[in-house]
A and B are shown apart, each in its own frame.
Chain A
Amino acid sequence: MGVLSFSAGTLGAFSLIALAFPFISLFTILWRSKDSLGHIAIFNAFISFIASFIVFCCVWNKEVIHLQTGWFTIGENVFTAGILLNNLSVLMMVLVSGISLLVHVYSLMYMKGDPGINKYWAYLGLFCFSMLGLVVSDSLLLIYIFWELVGFSSYLLIGFWFTRDAASQAAKKAFIINRIGDIGLLTGLMIMYAQFRTFDVVKLFGPMGLVDSASIIDGIWISPVSQMPVVWLSVAGFAFFIGAMAKSAQFPLHTWLPDAMEGPTSVSSLIHAATMVAAGVFLLGRVYPLFDSLVFNVIIIIGVLTAFLGATIALTQNDIKRILAYSTISQLGFMIAAMGIGAYGESIFHLATHAFFKCLLFLSAGAVIHQLHHYKEHHQLEFDHQDIRLMGGLGKKMPVTFISMCVAAAALAGLPLTGGYLSKDAVLITSFEWASGYHGFKKLVPYVLVLTSWLTAFYIARLIFKVFFGKLRYEGITEASSSMSRVLIVLAICSLFILVSFNPLSYEGSWILAGFTGSGVKPFEVFHSIVPIVVTIGSILMVLIGFRIYAKRDGRTFREKGFFYRFSNRAWYLNEAYNLMFVKPVERIAHYSYRFDKLIVDGVVNLAGAGMGVLSRVADWLDRYIVDGAVNGAAVLARHTGNFARQFQSGRLQHYLITMLTLVVGFFILTYFI
């Protein structure tokens, strides 16, 4: 690759091109006609991939490129926007754009004839744009922006078939649970800003960055510009981790991911492979220097628990996509746990291999679903075309899908010759090496992970055998169209060891791992031979058991009842629990707060108003009967007096004379007799 060499500015421009082209796809939404603009979208994805690839070749293991420009100013503080290209970001770039290109090509046939097809391309473009933006951003603020845009575009895509209630509910759930993570991330941002007065990732987390140079003295976390109690260091770590938990579907924030299966399968594949769920792991990688030992312990516990939980639930699911969804949750647990034990490079390595085989698993499942759906429509049948209990024997009719899915399943199960084998071994071996230095619960970590990988081998074997082996139910079903199966073949090749390492049996030669600094744990040679052998033998045994039960179907099977079965099948009853613990109470609080608002707050106002009314009526009464009464009384008095006096002026002479006589006589009587 020595031929390619560009200046930093040019590479920056290339990475912007990689971002800009998917964004252009967004404008296909304005296209009124029903004709698909798929070729334009694919072209955009292609350009994006090429640009990403060039950037990757020029940056990987070479210089770090950091370009930025002023964005806005608040007070004296200039906020910058820019791109940071290092090994982590360029690897993610090429992964995201590569997977997205494949999904684009696949979608051309898979989504053919959908009435909202151009909306689909637009959302897909936005999704890739957001994810690429996320990985190249150089500031936490920008990361947050793209972070939420990823959530938003996933909302649009999960709810793509919005007329289905389940889809729109799943979309809402995904967004709201991701919002919980966003609040965590935002809290992290606030703490970082308060403590360091910048969002610049390089300044904060770079070598000799602000986070490194901050010190802890007497329980106070002191940075060059500010200080706060040390507990906020842990809070910041937790806050970022909560963000990662929501996006990367870690317990307890994982419940949105299985529901997100309501979206088109191609979208699921994109969400699960390269975009969205990878974002959480990526974020942990970006803010890695921030975590203290307390946070690391929590990360490990959550990661291991999630890995185990996902695998146990996947054991009993019957929806083909849900099995894969829980397997993603489980695999993400591996990555998160690896991050927690300090195996940064191993975690990213597993992220990369997982991207390919998980994408392939979904697209193969999509091919099965697509063909069954068409078969169903063609024969006017009515059955659930995602239920693996209703499938069987498809291997002969859909050979390409079958073989590709077997490769992907082998990679997931961690069988040799696949990329998944290498990366899973990397995580497992490092965890054993790490645990040998500790006591207590940390000793358990590698064993739980091994147990989980055995479970993984079992549930994916169950899926393969149920779908592709056994008696064929649907005569006349055909292989998926060539443009779809070609994508599967490409991905199947990418899922093999050759993409990541020349040595099929040892991960140490992998070029991806070499791109990141080591975990720093003391190597133990003995683990490097024992662990792979034990794990592989266990996994193969699991596959064989699965074969006995599900492929040969000789009657030996598990009872599909009992507490453990239901516990697993209902996904540990977590949805029900959340509904009871959070959703209902919030609804009730909202209801009561509105009642409070109406009855108490507004009641006081209305009472005051009514009180005024009463007062005014009292005043009215007083006015009418007392004040006015006095006035009227005076008037009445005057009138009566007037009436009385009026009689004196009747105009009759006799009256006057009588009156005068009376007065005069009266006067005399008064004067002389009294």
Chain B
Amino acid sequence: MDYILSILIFLPLVAALLIIVLGSSFRERFKYIALAVTVIQLFISIAIYLDFSSSTAFAGINKESQFQLLEKIPWIRLDLGSIGKLEIDYFLGIDGLSMPFLVLSALVMFVATLASWEIKTNHKAFFALLLLLNTAVMGVFCALDFFLFYVFYELMLLPLYFLIGMWGGARREYAAIKFFLYTLFGSVFMLLVIIGLYFSVINPATGNHTFNMILMMDPSNYIGNSIFSTVANQELFGISARLLAFIVLFIAFAIKVPVVPLHTWLPDAHVEAPTPVSIILAGLLLKVGGYGILRVCISIFPEAAVQSAWWLGLIGVISILYGALNALAQTDLKRLIAYSSVSHMGFVLLGIASGTVEGVSGAMLQMISHGGLSAMLFFLVGMIYNRVHDRDIASFRGLALIMPQFTAFVVIAFFASLGLPGFSAFMAEAFSLIGAFTSAEINGLLPRWMAIGGAVGILLSAAYFLWTLQRMFFGQTRLKGGDIWLSQLKDINIREKVALVPLAVLALALGIFPSLAFSKMNASILAFIQLFSG
């Protein structure tokens, strides 16, 4: 199968078109179409995972020949006269940094589709947009041409804007616009950097300027006096152009991650978004940010990354602590989980900034782990909200008595998230911190106190999760809605179990056998570290 990545990416788009074409008499079947697509994607991605070669000969990163499942088709060729020939490729491929995200995306999309059963209005538009989003997310993780990457990257915004704005809660328009403008703000400047890179890099094979990301990682492909040349040391506004470009790209992706102080779109977007969109936001969109930092920011501007590593680490620690403290102060369960995402994604940044194999492995695992766990958490919140349309922590008490199985899943999700050993988040956070700590000896990028500061976040996460457990689930049952709620709060059903069990299994499997992920990523991470910090 030469075009398997294309199939993976465009299958949902085809299904979306099908849904648009089908008449409204099929409206009850749209969700099954969407579900079928995600199931097929899940199988494809698992097949890709199993078939993925973990040898160093297929490490990828900055060597085009080492990427797997390569697809490269000339896409746009335009003679621009004196400027040269516009060269944009339809260029896909995966390595150890992107492959795990394909599996994660397929799984999270599957769960999100199952969560979409709650959608009551305008099925056609909803599922078409959901599938369009699916295409965009898959595309981002596969694209190796910067132009193509940017197309997919921006394509994610459109369906999300409508999904939040049309099916969201009371303040959905505010949240949707905030989200849209926030992310657009980052990506507009990103476009400038992309254009700058385009004019700086020459494809040695054809002599044309190129958008090929992999070629951008090799300093010898830069024109000697170009703006982003590694030797010319061009300056813009008094600072090195490459450093500036790194910062701009970093801000663009950091908004997605999100890091403090660029995070405030996230709680609003999460609170207003319908459950499936929250799942996708937390499970995948945030990971696009982390992936972008690895694949684009650091890989293309490694020396600028080394220069800024201290600041990246600091932002990571601040995100961990600040996110956790904010989570502690929340009264709305969904907002609490949104802030906990900020905290947990801080570990990703800290691990990446360490520039060590341990740290980056931890960060990658944290992204995968958090992808599954945040999907699980938002699904669980959605279940309560769907039943009684309330999510205030204070409105509930003693839920364990009336919803024991639901509570069991909540306990699993909470403890997995707070880093209980045996679950993936523990391994991920432990190695992010270990990497951050060893960084002082290995490359001197981060001081040791940052790792210890990050460790305090583990304590705080235990505090807010356990406090929530105690307040909402334990004690004698007492509900704000009284007996009406009592009859509405039914325990978990089959569909919900089907969605939750795979996520719990993923967290458990990666926690006990982290090599399931580490072995596939190791070669790529080593190559990445080689590129990053030498």
Encode A586-608 as 1/0 by CB contact (under 8 A) with B.
Answer: 11011101100100011011000
Q: Is the CB of B518 within 8 A of A176?
A: no
Interface set, chain B 322-358, CB cutoff 8 A to A = 322, 325-326, 328-330, 357-358
Interface set, chain A 155-200, CB cutoff 8 A to B = 155, 159, 162-165, 167-169, 171-172, 175-176, 179-180, 182-183, 186-187, 189-191, 193-195
Q: Is the CB of A186 within 8 A of B430?
A: yes
Which chain B positions have C-beta within 8 A of A563? none
Encode B240-282 as 1/0 by CB contact (under 8 A) with A.
Answer: 0000000000000000000011011100000000000000000
Q: Does residue A226 face the partner (Cβ distance < 8 Å to B)?
A: yes
CB distance from B180 to the nearest CB of A (A): 12
Which of B358, B415, B462 is in CB contact (< 8 Å) with A176? B462
Q: Does residue B161 face the partner (Cβ distance < 8 Å to A)?
A: no
Q: Is the CB of A71 within 8 A of B515?
A: yes
Q: Is the CB of A148 within 8 A of B459?
A: no
Which chain A positions have C-beta within 8 A of B456? 183
Among residues of B, the one whose C-beta sits closest to the C-beta of A595 is B329
Q: Does residue B51 face the partner (Cβ distance < 8 Å to A)?
A: no
Q: Is the CB of B518 within 8 A of A172?
A: no
Bound-state CA distance A594–B327 (Å) is: 8
Q: Is the CB of B466 within 8 A of A74?
A: no
Which stretch from B68-76, B230-238, B431-439 is at the chain A interface? B431-439
Q: Is the CB of B470 within 8 A of A169?
A: yes
Q: Is the CB of B513 within 8 A of A162?
A: no
Among residues of A, the one whose C-beta sits closest to the C-beta of B420 is A152
CB distance from B258 to the nearest CB of A (A): 11
Among residues of B, the one whose C-beta sits closest to the C-beta of A593 is B325
Which chain A positions have C-beta within 8 A of B430? 141, 144, 186, 189
Interface set, chain A 186-238, CB cutoff 8 A to B = 186-187, 189-191, 193-195, 226-228, 232
Q: Does residue B84 face the partner (Cβ distance < 8 Å to A)?
A: no
Q: Is the CB of A194 within 8 A of B522?
A: no
Bound-state CA distance A190–B400 (Å) is: 37
Using A74-B361, A152-B420, A179-B458 as known contacts, say yes or no to A590 and B328 having CB atoms under 8 A apart.
Answer: yes
Q: Is the CB of B475 within 8 A of A179?
A: no
Q: Does residue A40 face the partner (Cβ distance < 8 Å to B)?
A: no
Which chain A positions have C-beta within 8 A of B513? 72
Which of A168, A182, A183, A602 is in CB contact (< 8 Å) with B474? A168
CB distance from A83 to the nearest CB of B (A): 16
Q: Does residue B519 face the partner (Cβ distance < 8 Å to A)?
A: yes
Q: Is the CB of A168 within 8 A of B357?
A: no
Q: Does residue A145 face the partner (Cβ distance < 8 Å to B)?
A: yes
Among residues of B, the one whose C-beta sits closest to the C-beta of A159 is B474
Q: Does residue B426 face the partner (Cβ distance < 8 Å to A)?
A: yes
Which chain B positions have C-beta within 8 A of A586? 325, 328, 463
Among residues of B, the one whose C-beta sits closest to the C-beta of A71 is B515
Interface set, chain B 430-482, CB cutoff 8 A to A = 430-431, 433-434, 437-438, 440-441, 448, 451-452, 455-456, 458-459, 462-463, 466-467, 469-470, 473-476
The tally of residues in A whose CB lies under 8 Å from a CB in B reads: 56
Which chain B positions have C-beta within 8 A of A171? 470
How many residue pairs between the two chains, A and B, have CB atoms under 8 Å in the bound complex? 148
Encode A56-98 as 1/0 by CB contact (under 8 A) with B.
Answer: 0000000000000001111111000000000000000000000
Q: Is the CB of A194 within 8 A of B437?
A: yes
Q: Does residue B12 face the partner (Cβ distance < 8 Å to A)?
A: no
Q: Does residue B398 face the partner (Cβ distance < 8 Å to A)?
A: yes
Interface set, chain B 39-57, CB cutoff 8 A to A = none
Using A73-B518, A179-B459, A180-B459 as known contacts, say yes or no to A193 and B434 having CB atoms under 8 A apart.
Answer: yes
Q: Is the CB of A228 within 8 A of B421?
A: no
Bound-state CA distance A531–B361 (Å) is: 57
CB distance from B176 to the nearest CB of A (A): 13
Q: Is the CB of B400 within 8 A of A609?
A: no
Which chain A positions have C-beta within 8 A of B329? 587, 590-591, 593-594
Which of B440, B452, B463, B470 is in CB contact (< 8 Å) with A168? B470
Bound-state CA distance A74–B351 (Å) is: 14
Encode B352-383 as 1/0 by CB contact (under 8 A) with A.
Answer: 00000110010000000000000000000000
Q: Is the CB of A74 within 8 A of B452?
A: no
Q: Is the CB of A75 within 8 A of B357?
A: yes
Using A72-B518, A176-B466, A593-B326 as known contacts, say yes or no to A149 and B451 having CB atoms under 8 A apart.
Answer: no
Bound-state CA distance A589–B438 (Å) is: 30
CB distance from B190 to the nearest CB of A (A): 19
Q: Is the CB of B421 within 8 A of A226?
A: no
Which of B182, B328, B525 is in CB contact (< 8 Å) with A75? B525
| Chain B interface bracket (under 10, 10 to 19, 20 to 34, 35 or more) | 35 or more
Which chain A positions have C-beta within 8 A of B519? 72-73
Bound-state CA distance A589–B460 (Å) is: 12
Which of B260, B420, B433, B474 is in CB contact (< 8 Å) with A186? B433
Encode A428-471 as 1/0 by CB contact (under 8 A) with B.
Answer: 00000000000000000000000000000000000000000000
Which chain A positions have C-beta within 8 A of B178? 605, 609
Among residues of A, the one whose C-beta sits closest to the C-beta of B268 is A602
Bound-state CA distance A100–B220 (Å) is: 67
Which chain B positions have C-beta within 8 A of A163? 398, 401, 474-476
Bound-state CA distance A590–B327 (Å) is: 8
Which chain B positions have C-beta within 8 A of A155? 466
Bound-state CA distance A159–B474 (Å) is: 9
CB distance from B174 to the nearest CB of A (A): 9
Using A72-B519, A148-B420 as known contacts, say yes or no to A597 and B514 having CB atoms under 8 A apart.
Answer: no
Q: Is the CB of A590 within 8 A of B518?
A: no
Q: Is the CB of B325 within 8 A of A590?
A: yes
Q: Does residue B422 face the partner (Cβ distance < 8 Å to A)?
A: yes
Q: Is the CB of B459 within 8 A of A75?
A: no
Q: Is the CB of A189 within 8 A of B434?
A: yes
Which of B263, B438, B452, B459 is in CB contact (< 8 Å) with A193? B438
Bound-state CA distance A149–B421 (Å) is: 7
Which chain A positions have C-beta within 8 A of B114? none
Give the top 5 A-B pairs by smallest Cβ distance, nearest first: A75-B357, A72-B515, A145-B421, A168-B474, A594-B329
Besides A74-B518, A587-B329, 4 new A-B residue pairs in contact (Cβ under 8 A), listed by A number: A72-B519, A74-B361, A590-B326, A605-B182
Please list 12 pairs of residues, one from A and one from B, whose beta carbons are closer than 8 Å in the complex, sorted by A's number: A75-B357, A75-B358, A141-B430, A148-B420, A162-B475, A163-B474, A168-B469, A171-B470, A172-B470, A605-B182, A605-B264, A609-B178
Q: Which residues of B contact A (CB under 8 A)?
A: 178, 181-182, 260-261, 263-265, 322, 325-326, 328-330, 357-358, 361, 398, 400-401, 415, 420-422, 426, 430-431, 433-434, 437-438, 440-441, 448, 451-452, 455-456, 458-459, 462-463, 466-467, 469-470, 473-476, 513-515, 518-519, 522, 525-526, 529
